[in-house]
Amino acid sequence: MIPDLLVVGAGLAGGLLALEAADRGAKVCIISTAPMATPISYGGVQLAALEQWQRLEKRHGFLGLEPAELLLYWLEDQKPNIPPGAQRLAPSQWRGLEPLLVDAPLGGVVAMPYARVDPLVLTEKLTKALAAAGVQQRNLLLQGLLLEEGVVRGCKTKAGEEILAQHTVLAAGAATAPLLASIGCSLPLLDCSWAALLQMEAGLLDDFFCGHASDQPKAIVMPMELQRMERERSTSGAQLICDGGIAPWGKAKVFGQASFFGEPIGHIDKPNPAVMRAGLKEAAKSLLPQQLWPSLAELPMALQPVAFSRDGLALVGPISRLKGLSVFTAFSAAFSLVPGLAPVLAAAILDPKRSMEALSNLELLPERLPAI
């Protein structure tokens, strides 16, 4: 039997969309393609999205939600634009919440109400939740989409198998653009970059803390002003951007993020890993203790392509010039946005007459044009 919905991409976006559709009685197949960016996310959750995550965990069990602090910092030569609701911290407070900041020459730090979903836990639990919901899960390498007389019928694997469905959703991050290109389609705002993080393994941190790193407070450290978001909205600029940050990662922590942007727009060849590591090592000098610097050359580095939208807003909804195809990608704060948007998109696909207006009102439809 042909499934009602084929979701391409089994990360955060695709997984939660598949769960929402299955909860509505749809027969769903989800395809995991290339390595996902979800496991290297910080997993930050704004409090406005907390209720959505609690709703998901009530239905599907523990998915990795836990309390966390968001620490926003600025350097000594910067003037901060402190957001409403932020609490300015004394140095002893921020070092207590993130001991790795012990030597950081910061101009200041504020704390914001926050939570997080552990991306490693989510990756494991989501697979089990999908199975319990009756979602068919497959690992496949895809050749492209199947297009017949203006209707997308599904996709074709590199092995030649055709996977058919009533409706296909591309929630595949950076793999979305190539899949669209396989049928001669593109979106004006869809672009991608490469993101790199250094994985500070538990053993290294245990030595630094003289104990178990997993016992330390859970805090996400990010700059007050993200250079990456500004660069995403520009058609030109520096190819390498480093926003120094620290986040929990399983029982360890990650340091990032370095972002590499293609020239021209849309060019996504993998950057030289040595260039990415050098950028992260330089950024680390503003945050990490000097005694950890020599280790940075040897730490495992995750390097993955990620999708983004050049107006900073996600791309969510059907492709109007084709039947049977939607996209669900390019989130700038995915763990805060996807839980609320997945039910809206699922409803619009499965019951468009009653639910499409709610999706349209969000003004996230994927074929919108860049602002002039």
- pLDDT value for 214: 57
Q: Comparing C-alpha atoms, which of 199, 195, 198, 196 is closest to residue 252?
A: 199
Strand-pairing partners, residue 222, are 72
- pLDDT value for 340: 98
Question: How many angstroms separate the CA atoms of 305 and 269, rounded?
Answer: 9
* pLDDT, tens digit only, all 372 positions of the chain: 899 999 999 999 999 999 999 999 999 999 998 778 888 899 999 999 999 999 999 999 999 999 999 999 999 888 888 888 899 999 999 999 999 999 899 999 999 989 999 999 999 999 999 999 999 999 999 999 999 999 999 999 999 999 999 999 999 999 999 999 999 999 999 999 999 999 998 777 777 776 555 566 789 999 999 999 999 988 888 899 999 999 998 888 999 999 999 865 555 789 999 999 999 999 998 899 999 999 999 999 999 999 999 999 999 999 999 999 999 999 999 999 999 999 999 999 999 999 999 999 999 999 998 875
Question: How many angstroms separate the CA atoms of 208 and 223, rounded?
Answer: 23
Q: What is the pTM of this model?
A: 0.95
Contacts 24+ apart (CB under 8 A), 367-372: 367/187, 367/188, 367/319, 367/320, 367/321, 368/188, 368/189, 368/311, 369/188, 369/189, 370/188, 370/189, 370/310, 370/311, 371/311
Question: How many angstroms separate the CA atoms of 3 and 166, rounded?
Answer: 6
Decide: 179 and 145 in contact? Cβ < 8 Å. yes
Decide: 5 and 165 in contact? Cβ < 8 Å. yes
Strand-pairing partners, residue 32, are 139
Tell me how crowded residue 120 is: count the other CB atoms within 10 A of its CB.
Answer: 18
Strands, E assignment, the chain: 5-8, 28-32, 44-45, 65-75, 87-89, 106-117, 136-139, 142-148, 151-157, 162-164, 167-170, 190-200, 219-223, 240-249, 252-261, 301-309, 315-318, 325-329
Domains and CATH numbers, the chain: 5-54+119-189+311-360 (3.50.50.60), 65-116+190-309 (3.30.9.10)
Q: Give the 3-state secondary structure of residue 193.
A: strand
Question: How many angstroms separate the CA atoms of 276 and 153, rounded?
Answer: 39
